[in-house]
A and B are shown apart, each in its own frame.
Chain A
């Protein structure tokens, strides 16, 4: 894939993160009772909701892509790594996919705990 498409996805991911984070900040931090919103019962009840599962999954995907693309940009501007951009990209893809799998597993684990709790 051409660099312009990676870069475009990076912008899209940034925009989506802005919306998701905005939603999170407004509904968890600004509206209602913050202490109650972050209590175990409240978090557990949210984690079983399919809508919240989709929310967290999207957040995970876009945050990982945005973060790792930014990290790749920084790494490729280091003189010692500049000539190894394929290797750097491959390592970051593996790390990103690994973290996505781990995050997804954590999400489903939280759903199970929430269902029990």
Chain B
């Protein structure tokens, strides 16, 4: 056996500056003055993301630049912005992948701008909240507060909606949607995909209530299936597909009167006892009202 540091498979110097990229950044001071674009020259290394570029600008060139960012790994959804005309996560977009020496960075379309690259995401969260994005069991609230067991849900039933639970609420789909651009009341792909996520979840029994919430003049029927939301989604959630499935569910419920299966609480296993090495669950940390 030989010792020493293993040689990298590809011999690339990651610290070498390979190009100087011009960041053309949308600047708006939030006071109503007309917005402007300002150019910054960013020394670019392999693997640098647009977010890395913005951080470098803020640290080295202009501390007044505002943007949102947090996790830097495509999980939190904070750094959604328009990059060369397309809505993307800045932390997931490598500068060299854009294959251009000029990167135009703007705030997300279809949202008011607070400052520079910071959009006001109120409509995203208000529309999300409007579809009641949580499991509801009307008449069984106590079971949700103090569960007596697990809800029975098969892997196949879970497969019907699991993909749509990966939404990180970055707001990119609303920025891409042509209907949201013209109809401010349209619920939009994010909220509708989440409505489907709960309509398809057999643990939820508020099927009729949620169908009512989306079966409106600005609800699910206003989607023309442009598919821009799906193309832009950084997590592969496919909201356009969810909306078509939601149309089917609403149609089955409203027009055909079809009932959906409801998961029941699984009975406690009998004739078994807890293994001595399995600890009891911890005490509740959330107190019910």
A interface residues, Cβ below 8 angstroms from B: 2-5, 7-8, 73, 76-79, 82-83, 85, 89
Evaluate contact between B217 and A85: CB separation under 8 angstroms.
yes
A–B Cβ pairs within 8 angstroms, 14 of them: A2-B254, A3-B216, A4-B221, A4-B251, A4-B254, A8-B251, A8-B255, A73-B222, A76-B183, A76-B217, A76-B222, A77-B179, A85-B217, A85-B218
Knowing A8-B251, A8-B255, A77-B222, say if A82 contacts B215 (CB, 8 Å).
Answer: no
Evaluate contact between A82 and B183: CB separation under 8 angstroms.
yes
Name the CB-closest residue of A to B256.
A8
Report A6 CB to chain B, min CB distance, Å. Answer: 8
Inter-chain contacts of B184 with A (CB < 8 A): 79, 82
B185 contacts the other chain (Cβ, under 8 Å)?
yes
- In the docked arrangement, what's the CA distance between A3 and B221, Å? 8
- In the docked arrangement, what's the CA distance between A5 and B216, Å? 11
B154 contacts the other chain (Cβ, under 8 Å)?
no
B60 contacts the other chain (Cβ, under 8 Å)?
no
Report B83 CB to chain A, min CB distance, Å. Answer: 26
Knowing A3-B215, A4-B221, A85-B218, say if A77 contacts B182 (CB, 8 Å).
Answer: yes
- In the docked arrangement, what's the CA distance between A78 and B222, Å? 12
Evaluate contact between B218 and A5: CB separation under 8 angstroms.
no
* Secondary structure dominating the interface of B: loop
Evaluate contact between A82 and B185: CB separation under 8 angstroms.
yes
> Which 4 A-B pairs rank lowest in CB-CB distance, beginning with the nearest?
A4-B254, A85-B217, A77-B183, A7-B221
- In the docked arrangement, what's the CA distance between A85 and B217, Å? 7
Residue in A4, A82, A89 whose beta carbon sits within 8 Å of that of B218 in the complex: A82
Evaluate contact between B255 and A3: CB separation under 8 angstroms.
no
Q: Using an 8 Å CB-CB cutoff, how does the interface string of B67-92 with A read, 1 for contact, 0 for none? A: 00000000000000000000000000
Report B239 CB to chain A, min CB distance, Å. Answer: 18
Report B178 CB to chain A, min CB distance, Å. Answer: 9
- In the docked arrangement, what's the CA distance between A7 and B186, Å? 16
Report A87 CB to chain B, min CB distance, Å. Answer: 12
- In the docked arrangement, what's the CA distance between A76 and B182, Å? 9
Knowing A3-B217, A3-B221, A7-B221, say if A79 contacts B182 (CB, 8 Å).
Answer: yes
- In the docked arrangement, what's the CA distance between A110 and B185, Å? 45
Q: Using an 8 Å CB-CB cutoff, how does the interface string of B214-232 with A read, 1 for contact, 0 for none? A: 0111110110000000000
- In the docked arrangement, what's the CA distance between A57 and B212, Å? 34
Residue in B179, B182, B185, B255 whose beta carbon sits within 8 Å of that of A4 in the complex: B255
Inter-chain contacts of B218 with A (CB < 8 A): 76, 82, 85
Inter-chain contacts of B212 with A (CB < 8 A): 2
- In the docked arrangement, what's the CA distance between A110 and B115, Å? 66
- In the docked arrangement, what's the CA distance between A5 and B221, Å? 11
- In the docked arrangement, what's the CA distance between A76 and B217, Å? 8
Name the CB-closest residue of B to A83.
B185
